[in-house]
Every structure is written in structure tokens, then in C-alpha cells.
Structure 1
Amino acid sequence: ERKTFKIAPPTDIMSRLQAFLPQIQAANASLQNMKPEDLDIEQVEEDEQYIEMNLGLGVYEHKREVSDSEDDEDDDD
């Protein structure tokens, strides 16, 4: 015997997703029609504004800077 399940009415997130997908599809289509050199985000003119992000891979360890006076105290031990 096969079980049947009721389908819940569309949730808010599903409605938003269904509205968003056509928008992203249209945006992707417009990008396809643009010249590749217009889409190059790596080449920025000197007078253009940009956001610089310096990203690191892996885990950074924060090392506390030790002053000279603290070094001298450690040497006395």
C-alpha cells in the first residue's frame, strides 16, 4: 500500500525563492551579453573606487608583542 502525504502550502521562503530565481536568471543573461573586459574586476583604474580585501588561508595565531622591559624580566628567572 502506498502512503500519501499532504503538501504544505508554500512557505514565505519558497515564495521569496520563486520570485528570486527569475531575477537571478535575468541578471545572468544580461552578464552573458556584456563584453568580458567590462566584467574584469581585477583591473581598476587609479581614479576608480574599489574595496580591498586581504584574505588569508588557514588559521592565524595572534602573537602578543613583548616589550624590551618584559624581556629583561623574563631573563632574570
Structure 2
Amino acid sequence: MIPTNSESRRHAGRTQILLHRINGESAWQDSIDARHTVRNHQDEWSFTPWPADVQKKAQRDIPLNPENARRGEVGFQPVYN
């Protein structure tokens, strides 16, 4: 179940949910895919941001996307704007 405090949007007639990766990145996914991702990868993805200390530790193992870091952005960019 998607928590009521998670961020969502409507895009192309579908509901998308903002997922948060343990290293601080984030990505929009269709709600059905978001539920699947969080259910099957609970140690890496969440509906809510991870605590800062957990993100910092995870960044040693899963560095931020270098293309986004070069542009000064954190996380994945949405596929659709």
C-alpha cells in the first residue's frame, strides 16, 4: 500500500509515485510499478526519503548518478516532465 504522505502526480492519464533510493536519488514510476519496486527491493527503495545518515552511508556503496552530479542535480530526472 502506498503511504498517504508519498508524493504523486498524474501523467498521461496515469498516477505516478515518487520513489526514493537509499543513496538519495529519486525517480517517478507508475503506481503499480512503484508498489512492485518497493515490495521487492525494500532495502533499496522507499515511498519516503531515507534518513540522511542512511543515505550518506549508502552513497559509499551506490554513488549518485555521475551525469546528474556533473550538472549539479541529485537523483534521477523524471522520464516525463
TM-score higher than 0.5: no
- TM-score bracket, normalised by the shorter chain, equals under 0.3
Report the structure number with the largest CA radius of gyration: 1
Task: Point out the structure with the larger helix share.
Answer: 1
Identify which of structures 1 and 2 has the higher relative contact order when contacts are C-alpha pairs closer than 8 Å and 6+ apart. Answer: 2
Task: Point out the structure with the larger strand share.
Answer: 2
